[in-house]
Amino acid sequence: MNEQRLKNRTAFITGSVQGIGLGVAKCLAGAGANVAIHGLAGKEQSEATLAVLREAGAGDVIFFDTDLRDEAAISEMLEKLTSWNHIDILVNNAGMQITTSLADATGEIWNDILAVNLSAAFHTMRFLMPKMAKHGYGRVINIASVHGLVASVNKAPYVASKFGLVGLSKVAALEYAAVGSKASGGVTVNCINPGWTETQLIQPQIDARSAEFGGDREKGVAALLAEKQPSRRTSDPSEIGELCLWLCSKNAHNITGTSIPVDGGWTAQ
């Protein structure tokens, strides 16, 4: 239990019906927050996810299935969101990745990845952060990636979007740095930069590497880890959730504009 430390706070997490986003949502729900989740999910999956969050300890819960490539749809979602509740915590987690060489990447791939991974965060932040400022407390946590700090081949659109997200976060952190007080908690903006984490997003890469070992998934994962992540261990989405929870505390009022790697030493090399 997280001792209801977020009771009466409200969090909105994009891309939160699975993977890291769901891990974050469950952790914040366990601390008593009202939780708004989002994802391209059907009725059965969305209702099951809301039930999980209620059981975890959430106050009120709500679900949105907005396509984050559509700016008008984002605006409509945000209006509905803020009429439901004031948002204290924004976690921009929604993301997509398509591995392709720069030569083979298409304009459609580029536009879709930049829209979901970067532009959607821009729209949610510019809409919600002024409202946070009026309350003297707000937390924006952008789930970037190690690829917001270092590059890899065959990921040009993805790497560009994540480097952009880190830059956007630094600017917003500076613009809101003096808002609020130690007592209110202030308004902070930080990035979390996961390395290999057990989610569906990395499954295509696991499948490709496993194929090199006759379909042996364990060997495929080990090969990926050996190549980049010195700890040779993957992270669990719940671990990212616990870090988000800590960043939401008032004690974290002076931690802003940072990019925190959770990568087993990947970016230390």
- Residue 202's pLDDT band (cuts 50, 70, 90): confident
Percent of the chain with pLDDT over 70: 99
CB atoms within 10 A of CB 206: 17
> Per-residue pLDDT for 37 more than 90?
yes
Q: For residues 260 and 177, give the distance between their C-alpha atoms in angstroms, rounded to a whole number.
A: 18
Read off the tokens for 244: 């988000």
39-58 burial, b at 16+ Cβ within 10 Å, e below that, comes to bebeeeebeebbebbeebbb
Report the mean per-residue pLDDT for the chain.
96
pLDDT of res. 218 = 87
Read off the tokens for 105: 């990447």
> Per-residue pLDDT for 3 more than 80?
no
In the chain, the amino acid numbered 237 is P
> Per-residue pLDDT for 201 more than 90?
no
Read off the tokens for 87: 């948002």
131-163 burial, b at 16+ Cβ within 10 Å, e below that, comes to ebbeeebbbbbbbbbbbbbbeeeebbbbbbbbb
- Residue 93's pLDDT band (cuts 50, 70, 90): very high
> Per-residue pLDDT for 81 more than 90?
yes
pLDDT of res. 55 = 97
CB 98 within 8 A of CB 49: no
Q: What are phi and psi of 249, to 5 degrees?
A: -70, 155
Helix (H) or strand (E) holding 191: strand 186-194
CATH topology of domain 10-268: Rossmann fold (3.40.50)
> Per-residue pLDDT for 1 more than 70?
no
Residue of 12, 64, 137, 158 marked active site: 158
**Residues whose CB is less than 8 angstroms from the CB of residue 145 and which lie 6 or more positions away in sequence, other chains included:** 95, 158, 162, 193, 194
Q: For residues 218 and 225, give the distance between their C-alpha atoms in angstroms, rounded to a whole number.
A: 11
Does the active-site annotation cover 158? yes
**pLDDT 10s digits, 8-20:** 999 999 999 999 9
pLDDT of res. 58 = 97
Q: For residues 74 and 78, give the distance between their C-alpha atoms in angstroms, rounded to a whole number.
A: 6
- 194 versus 206: which is more confidently predicted? 194
* pLDDT, average across residues 238-243: 98
CA-nearest of 168, 48, 87, 3 to 16 is: 48
* pLDDT, average across residues 27-48: 97
pLDDT of res. 48 = 97
**Residues whose CB is less than 8 angstroms from the CB of residue 108 and which lie 6 or more positions away in sequence, other chains included:** none
Distance of CA 18 to the CA centre of its chain: 11
Q: For residues 159 and 145, give the distance between their C-alpha atoms in angstroms, rounded to a whole number.
A: 9
**pLDDT 10s digits, 143-176:** 999 999 999 999 999 999 999 999 999 999 999 9
- 171 versus 209: which is more confidently predicted? 171
pLDDT of res. 2 = 60
Q: For residues 67 and 120, give the distance between their C-alpha atoms in angstroms, rounded to a whole number.
A: 10
Q: For residues 186 and 72, give the distance between their C-alpha atoms in angstroms, rounded to a whole number.
A: 30
pLDDT of res. 89 = 99
> Per-residue pLDDT for 200 more than 80?
no
